[in-house]
Structure 1
Amino acid sequence: MPIEQRVIGGGQKIGGGQKIGGGKEAPAPEPEPEKKAGGRKKLLLIIGAVVLVAAGAAAYLLLGRGGGEPAAEPEPEPGAVIAVEPVSLNLADGHYLRLGFELQFTAAAAGGGHGDPETGKAVDAAIALFSGRSVSEVSDPAKREELKAEFKHQLDELYHGEVYDVFLTNYVTQ
């Protein structure tokens, strides 16, 4: 039967160093190999690099430059202004509205080389929008701004986004 030896504290053996059974002395335990200090530093550098790459990729995607949402189109620049001759529109109860306006097109629309855009579509839209309304309705400043915004929206659809703004130049009721 083998003899078991245990080391306690400062290297003393149980049993006061006495040999039991007359066998050979047990070999001294081999010291543990020292851990390299550089291994921990390398691990920290690798983790730091992974975190930086992940943060960079997240920022790249969130800013819309890589597979995320496309960047917004730039605001169109104002271009040529075309005056439209005033027209008389029939309102309710025998009244009328004298309406004149100017269309400001985008710079891109003016650069198309097609000459001045046709304004007949804009006059037709104005007739459809303003005709038949009451004098009090078209005279109210808040309602007038609503009608102007609606008119601009209709012009955007008719001219495929080439109208930059619309200006009311003649607005007389009777």
Structure 2
Amino acid sequence: MAKDDEKTTEEAPAKGGKKKLIIIAAVALVALLGGGFAGYKIFSPKKVEAEPAPTPGVVSVLDAITINLADGHYLKLKMTLQATTEAAEAPDGSKALDIAIELFSNQSQDKLLTAEGREAAKKELVARVVKAYTEDKKKEVMDVYFTTFVIQ
């Protein structure tokens, strides 16, 4: 009987070892899944609510100006400012005209004659004008439109 006792004692730890291994694997799997879920929640991008688009208001037509370009060329520019309904009154165009003169002065004719160059310059102008007419998070101007853009 001693041999039978040795066999049962040898077999018993083997079965218990498999159960322990399964339990350890299950706990590790749960820990991995829980850690992965926690990591996803912590590091997932947060939803940012965009500002509502401003409502268009009055349009201010500005006088045409002539700007000196590089190499003796000129730009005749006439633009309008699209105000928002948040603006108490039609915006004064002097800031926008000053920004346009600063931006376009001494630029090359070749750059402004291409659609890409003109569009890039307009995007820069709109960004600067909107920033200049924004006070206390209140946008007064939302866009700029070219009504005349002639290079000579």
Residue matched to 1:83? 61
Aligned equivalents of 2:74 and 2:92: distance in 1? 25
Q: TM-score when scaled to structure 1?
A: 0.56
| Residue 145 (1) aligns with residue 119 (2) | yes
Q: Which residue of 1 aligns with 2:16?
A: none
Secondary structure of the residue aligned to 1:128 is: helix
Q: Given the two structures, how large is their TM-score scaled by the length of structure 2?
A: 0.63
Q: CA RMSD in A?
A: 1.6
Do the aligned residues in 1 keep the contact of 2:130 with 2:141 (CA within 8 Å)? Answer: yes
Offset, 1:74 = 1.8
On the 8 A contact 2:91/2:140 being kept in 1, the answer is no
Size of the alignment, in residue pairs?
103
CA distance in structure 1 between the aligned counterparts of 2:143 and 2:69, rounded to whole angstroms: 25
User: Residues of 1 paired with 2:82 and 2:92: CA distance?
Assistant: 13
User: Which protein is richer in helix relative to its size?
Assistant: 2
Structure 1 Cα separation of the partners of residues 151 and 114 of structure 2: 11
Q: Deviating runs (4+, > 2 A) in structure 1?
A: 68-73
Distance 1:73 1:101, change over 3 A: same
Q: 1:136 aligns with which of 110, 127, 130?
A: 110
User: Secondary structure in 1 aligned to 2:51?
Assistant: coil
Larger radius of gyration: 1
Q: Secondary structure at the match of 2:67?
A: strand
Tell me how far 1:70 sits from its aligned partner.
7.3
Q: 1:133 to 1:74 in 2, by over 3 A?
A: same
Are 2:147 and 1:169 equivalent residues in the alignment? yes
Query: Does 1 or 2 have the higher relative contact order (CA < 8 Å, sep 6+)?
Result: 2
The gaps in structure 1 that reach 5 residues or longer are 1-67
Name the CA shift for 1:141/1:72 in 2 (closer, same or farther; >3 Å).
closer
User: Which of 122, 127, 134 is 2:96 aligned to?
Assistant: 122
| Among 61, 69, 72, the residue aligned to 1:94 | 72
The CA deviation at 1:118 is 1.3
One-letter amino acid matched to 1:97: L
Whole-angstrom distance in 1 between the partners of 2:76 and 2:51:
37
Same amino acid, percent of matched pairs: 41
